[in-house]
């Protein structure tokens, strides 16, 4: 193993000024980080600071924008409101109230996560679990509800800001196992967060080991780990004290016959450049685990087709599998990050046509919205009332109802559309799934009322 010498440090927003490189910023830029960081979560470690950010050109550096709050992530009004509160040195309770009032306007839990995705077991809601798609269950272990560093675009930002009722987490696996023994349609268990790879080996092992018992009564065939650890802390598998324990456990999982898949988040090719990430990827693959890669398309960070093509090729050369390009979700600082759907599709197409078939495992652009994962297949012209008109061609890669999957449908062309909610049906008054989706809501409301 390469002899890496690095100690883990995590800087919270209250002491980001202790970062030596921050002296490259003007006092106004530092103040802006502090103002925005009181609304959105901020956390960064020294791997990101020392090895990923180019401090000689930090203003245009994608990893700096990925991890450090920027002034334009808040509206002008909200920025001035928070600035005024800090200038007046209001007490912490008042500051939190002001921050929460801003956060509430930013759709903290998109796509029906709170209303539609939380299942029940023995009459109780499993608040650390989401079951949106038939075969896949999301599990939010309570010990994994933070990250090595925070992404400024993250659609789960509400998990980390301390707002009541906005955090998914589960402390025990007993109810999870019970639910899965009753739902054999679930074949894939996705550990998510936060980042489950923030956990120590001892804690993570307790969550995983029950599924290695061949008599556990579930039908779990795949364990997925949704993680940013390879991008933000590859030393997890190199120099952390339990690095080898994790690798040994991964091998034990794969040798048990369970498919172990890392759902690795890489938002820019610069996250692939270090020796540390290359070695961590190699060691994980040696255990028999797969690594699939995904990221949203994010304005100001990776809205560059050539970069995506290079990143996919690099990932394949490292033995990883490009999996998803997502559309930035309708939450948080969406105005700063979102790209029009037409441009998103054009960037995907331009990147896709630059790579060989071995890279074309990637799917997208995909919107993870309330009905499911809606893929933008392109912009076309079709006859409507005898006149050729431009439309978006769409299909679902995943759906709340599996019958919705792979059904093509059409939306009216709108050059300004940025999310599914901006689109209107090209034919009729409703998309084919809308009536049934309304039934999902009615059932959820009924269960809530009479639970």
Mean pLDDT rounded to a whole number for the chain: 88
Q: Please give the pLDDT value at position 78.
A: 92
Bridge pairing between strands 136-139 and 259-265:
unpaired
* pLDDT 10s digits, 81-110: 999 999 999 999 999 899 888 888 877 766
Q: E strands of 288-346, at which residues?
A: 290-297, 321-327
Per-domain residue ranges of the chain:
10-104, 113-364, 369-451
Q: Taking 60 as the threshold, does the pLDDT of residue 4 lie above it?
A: no
Three-point CA angle 315, 306, 351, nearest 5°: 75
Binned at pLDDT 50, 70 and 90, residue 121 comes out as: confident
Tokens of 429: 């008054």
Q: Which of 7-21, 34-48, 200-214, 435-449 has the lowest mean pLDDT?
A: 7-21
**Residues 303 and 281 sit within 8 Å (Cβ to Cβ):** no
Separation of alpha carbons 101 and 114, rounded Å? 19
Binned at pLDDT 50, 70 and 90, residue 13 comes out as: very low
**Residues 379 and 354 sit within 8 Å (Cβ to Cβ):** no
Cβ contacts of residue 73 below 8 Å, gap of 6+?
36, 40, 152, 332, 333, 336
- Architecture of the 113-364 domain: Alpha-Beta Barrel (3.20)
Separation of alpha carbons 14 and 36, rounded Å? 12
Q: Please give the pLDDT value at position 450.
A: 28
Q: Taking 90 as the threshold, does the pLDDT of residue 14 lie above it?
A: no
Binned at pLDDT 50, 70 and 90, residue 43 comes out as: confident
CA distances to 24, 131, 295, 305 from 53, rounded to whole Å, are 12, 37, 19, 21
Q: Taking 60 as the threshold, does the pLDDT of residue 49 lie above it?
A: yes
Cβ contacts of residue 79 below 8 Å, gap of 6+?
35, 36, 71
* pLDDT 10s digits, 242-268: 999 999 999 999 999 999 999 999 999
**Residues 339 and 359 sit within 8 Å (Cβ to Cβ):** no
Orientation of helix 243-255 relative to helix 275-286, angle to 10°: 40
**Residues 301 and 62 sit within 8 Å (Cβ to Cβ):** yes
């Amino acid at each position: 193993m390469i002899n890496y010498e690095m100690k883990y440090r995590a800087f919270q927003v209250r002491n980001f000024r202790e970062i030596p490189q921050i002296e490259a910023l003007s006092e106004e830029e530092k103040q802006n980080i502090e103002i925005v960081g009181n609304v959105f979560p901020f956390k960064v470690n020294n791997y990101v600071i020392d090895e990923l950010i180019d401090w000689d050109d930090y203003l245009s550096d994608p990893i700096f924008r990925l991890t450090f709050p920027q002034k334009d992530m808040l509206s002008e009004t909200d920025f001035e409101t928070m600035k005024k509160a800090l200038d007046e040195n209001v007490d912490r309770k008042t500051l939190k109230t002001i921050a929460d009032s801003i956060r509430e306007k930013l759709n903290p839990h998109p796509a029906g996560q709170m209303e539609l995705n939380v299942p029940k077991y023995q009459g109780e809601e499993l608040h650390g679990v989401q079951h949106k798609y038939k075969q896949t269950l999301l599990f939010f272990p309570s010990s994994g509800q933070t990250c090595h560093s925070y992404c400024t675009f993250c659609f789960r930002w509400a998990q980390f800001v301390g707002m009541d009722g906005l955090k998914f987490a589960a402390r025990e696996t007993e109810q999870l196992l019970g639910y899965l023994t009753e739902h054999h349609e679930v074949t894939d268990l996705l550990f998510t967060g936060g980042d489950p790879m923030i956990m120590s080996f001892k804690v993570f092992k307790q969550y995983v080991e029950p599924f290695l018992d061949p008599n556990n009564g579930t039908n779990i065939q795949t364990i997925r780990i949704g993680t940013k650890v390879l991008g933000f802390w590859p030393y997890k598998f190199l120099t952390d004290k339990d690095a080898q324990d994790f690798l040994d456990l991964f091998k034990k999982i794969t040798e048990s016959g369970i498919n172990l898949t890392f759902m690795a988040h890489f938002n820019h090719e610069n996250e692939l450049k270090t020796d540390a990430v290359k070695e961590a990827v190699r060691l994980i693959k040696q255990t028999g685990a797969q690594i699939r890669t995904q990221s949203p398309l994010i304005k100001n960070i990776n809205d560059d087709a050539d970069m995506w093509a290079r990143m996919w090729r690099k990932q394949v050369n490292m033995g990883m599998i490009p999996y998803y390009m997502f559309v930035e979700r309708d939450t948080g600082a969406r105005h700063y990050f979102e790209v029009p759907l037409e441009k998103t599709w054009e960037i995907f197409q331009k990147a896709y046509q630059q790579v060989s078939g071995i890279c074309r495992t990637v799917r997208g652009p995909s919107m993870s919205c309330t009905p499911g994962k809606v893929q933008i297949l392109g912009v076309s012209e079709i006859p409507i009332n005898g006149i050729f008109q431009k439309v978006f061609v769409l299909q679902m890669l995943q759906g709340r109802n599996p019958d919705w999957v792979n059904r093509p449908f059409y939306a009216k062309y709108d050059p300004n559309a940025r999310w599914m909610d901006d689109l209107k049906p090209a034919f009729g008054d409703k998309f084919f799934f809308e009536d049934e989706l309304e039934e999902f809501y009615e059932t959820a409301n009924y269960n809530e009322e009479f639970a």
